[in-house]
């Protein structure tokens, strides 16, 4: 036995541990680990490749710019998707449509194949316009729904219908433009 055997033993052990760690790392560490930092680099690509659901107003305006001439409207800042739900596949390009649908396109780029659902109850309106003390004071709010309808409706029709949706009197796109005969 050489007098350095204890050093050799330790060196071999350290070497084995190092080798073992290298093997462990090669098997279990993802390839892209450390590409940008101490994390799996591929996750950045995975996280950014999820599908987008909310398209924003620009997406709707591609086809519906005529309906969207709302420069003066109070509701111009309200995105379409808040009331009209997510833009599902409700229209397809003309060249992909069948002959019956093609006739409906009337020269446009897209054909409507499905009607977009819309919640016509008062709930979408009340989400924003119920009176709450925490809301900004200048924001238009309805303190007493029954009274609001009674006052507005009486002037128009002379009768009270509590459960009528807001859209009976208010145009959702131009809320200040009331239905004919109201106020």
Partner 1 sequence: MKRRKAAKRLESRREFIKIAANGMAGMLIVTLMPKSSWAQRIHQIEEMKHVPDWMDHYYAYVVDTTKCIGCGACVRACKRENNTPDGYFRTWVERYQITDTGHVYIDSPNGGHESFPPKDVEGKALKGFFVPKLCNHCRNTPCTQVCPVNASYETPQGVVLVDKQTCIGCGYCVQACPYDTRYIDPRTHTADKCTWCYHRVTKGLAPACVTVCPTKARIFGDLKVKNSQVREILDSQRVMVLKPELNTEPYCFYIGLDRAVR
Cβ partners under 8 Å of residue 56, min gap 6: 79, 81
Q: Please, which residue, 17 or 45, has the CB nearer to partner 1?
A: 45
Cβ 55 to partner 1 shortest distance, Å: 8
> Of 40 and 112, which has the nearer Cβ to partner 1?
40
CB of 150 to partner 1, least distance (A): 19
Nearer CB in complex with partner 1: 29/98: 29
Q: Which of 177, 173, 178 is nearest to 69 (CA)?
A: 173
Min. distance of Cβ 40 from partner 1 in angstroms? 5
Min dist. Cβ of residue 126 to partner 1 (A):
7
**Cα 44 to Cα 26, 53, 54, 55, distances in angstroms:** 21, 19, 21, 22
Distance, CA of 168 to CA of 32 (rounded, Å): 59
Q: What is the contact surface with partner 1 in residues (CB under 8 A)?
A: 30, 33, 36-40, 43-44, 47-54, 56, 77-79, 81-82, 86, 126-128, 130-136, 139
| Separation CA 155–CA 148 (nearest Å) | 11
Cβ distance to partner 1 smaller for residue 133 or 181: 133
Structure tokens, 36: 């940008």
């Amino acid at each position: 036995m050489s007098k350095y055997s204890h050093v050799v033993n330790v060196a071999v052990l350290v070497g084995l541990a190092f080798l073992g760690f290298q093997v462990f790392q090669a098997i279990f560490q993802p390839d892209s680990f450390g590409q940008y930092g101490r994390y799996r680099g591929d996750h950045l690509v995975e996280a950014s490749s999820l599908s987008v659901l909310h398209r924003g107003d620009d997406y709707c305006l591609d086809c519906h710019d005529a309906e969207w001439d709302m420069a003066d409207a109070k509701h111009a800042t309200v995105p379409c998707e808040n009331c009209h739900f997510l833009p599902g596949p409700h229209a397809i390009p003309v060249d992909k449509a069948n002959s019956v649908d093609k006739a409906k396109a009337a020269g446009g780029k897209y054909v409507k194949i499905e009607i977009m659902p819309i919640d016509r109850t008062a709930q979408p309106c009340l989400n924003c316009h119920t009176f709450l003390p925490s809301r900004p004071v200048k924001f238009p709010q309805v303190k007493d729904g029954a009274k609001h309808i009674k006052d507005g409706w009486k002037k128009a029709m002379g009768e009270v219908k509590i459960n009528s949706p807001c859209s009976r009197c208010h145009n959702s796109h131009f809320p200040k433009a009331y239905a004919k005969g109201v106020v």
